[in-house]
Amino acid sequence: MKPARLIIDRIWNNTNWTLNVQNQNLMTNTLIPALAKLLPGGGSAYLNEGNFQEANWQQVFYGVNYKTLLHTKARYDPNHLFWGTTAVGSECWAETDDKRLCRAS
C-alpha cells in the first residue's frame, strides 16, 4: 500500500502582499495544525514544498534522520557556513529583526 499524500497551498498574488502574508499565516497557524491533529506523528515535506515558518521543521522535513544529518553537516561544515531557514543546523544561527544572522545562544 502506498502512503497517502496531500498537498495544500494558497495562490500567490503578485499585486497583494497583504493577502500573501494572510495566506502564509492561515497555512502556518490554522491549516497545518489542523492536519497535524488528524495525523499525529505524521507529516514530512520536501524543503521546496515546505512552510518556512514550520515550528517543528526538523521532524517534519527530516524525521528520524535529523541527528545523523546534523552530525554529517558538522563534519563537512563545522563553522556552519552554509545556512538556510530550515536547513540542517540552521538552529545554530538566529535572525535579527533586520535579517542579519548571529550565533544562537
| Tens-digit pLDDT profile for residues 42-86 | 665 655 667 788 888 898 888 889 999 999 999 999 999 999 888
Residue 7 domain flag? no
Q: Is 2 part of any domain? A: no
Q: How many domains is the chain partitioned into structurally?
A: 1
Domain span at residue 75?
17-103
Q: Give pLDDT, residue 42.
A: 64
Whether 53 maps to a domain, the answer reads yes
- In-domain check, residue 46: yes
| pLDDT classification of 102: cutoffs 50, 70, 90 | very high
Neighbouring C-beta atoms of residue 72, cutoff 10 Å: 13
What pTM value is reported for the model? 0.60
CB-based contacts of 105, cutoff 8 Å, min separation 6: 94
